[in-house]
Structure 1
Amino acid sequence: MKKKIVVAITGASGSIYAHLLLKKLDQLKDQLKEVAVVMSDNAKDVWRFELENDHFNNFDFKFYDKKDFMAPFASGSARFDTMVVVPCSMGTLGRIAGGISDDLIIRAADVILKERRKLILVARDTPLNLIHIRNMQTVTEAGGIICPAIPSYYSKPKTIEELAMTLVNRVIDLIGLENESYRWSEEEG
């Protein structure tokens, strides 16, 4: 069964993760029914600063304004399977944990949690204070998955993109999509 996914991009550092996730979802679109994207204003600014482009405009996904509460995924009846917030700022995490649906990103996360569907937050900040940790605990207890933006090194990545893809591939696994990527302890061919 093809999945319906919401990707939310916030203004935390780590635009490379959002960019690579959108590219990977585009490559895996045969497994997807729909991908909807919502970006905060800060996300667009950080993307332009970190990646020195505005290629978020180049993806063939439907983009929604952060104040568009008429977006289909603002309601559980639209039956989106998964939401990924990548990167997820600590402010966004706190508003999700507090149930403060002041924009489409938080409303969509609230809907995903209330419908008992999959919410994946790619938290991107360090160090963490106790408020961050408690917010992560609250979201986890509500059914969300905290996936810190921590890449792995098992595959011996050679570039920044390869390193970031180690995390993106993990997110793809959490979504439940079929994806060829490095697997720990598998024989190399």
Structure 2
Amino acid sequence: MSDSNTEDTWAYCRTDDSCEIAYHHLANQDTDPFLFLGKVVDQGHPQWKRYRKLLRRYPDVVSCLVESEHEKEEPNLLKLDWEEVGTGSGAEVCVFRIARSLSSLDKITAWLEYHSFRVGSYDRYRSEKFIPRWETQPVSNMGAYWSLDQYREKNPSLIVALTGIDLIQGYELILGFSENGQVVGASSVTPTK
């Protein structure tokens, strides 16, 4: 879970817009193809129809960022364009690209905390004796959570505003990791009441 020291650090650099996280490389579809449960999403993948337009819209990590970062030699990966990307499948593609660019659990956790996610523990759900059938098969995961209020701040609803009734409980991003600690999937969930 995140601690108050991390939040204080982000609050400090937010005041002058100086927050940054160093990245390993800038991921794109060629260097880091989008994976769903550890399998490359291509024309033969069962999820192709769901993601094909998004893979064209967000072919690389820079295309997921606010426009002011697009032409920079060293873009700031903290500046995800939530308004453009949304919190559904677009966020899955873009958070995957960002996580692959950051390449370390600590940096991915810091990125999530910057965006006010409550980060859960990194858990292995396969036994230690499990032998993955392919290199990118997920064996561990980590969840990051927004409250309902945080979710609605990014995703307002006219119906909820008019009725005062919301069936959503919150928002969760789940990152899957391979045996060697690489991100091999990203999914989003909005649990309902």
TM-score between the two structures when normalised by the length of structure 2: 0.28
Q: Which has the larger radius of gyration?
A: 2
TM-score between the two structures when normalised by the length of structure 1: 0.28
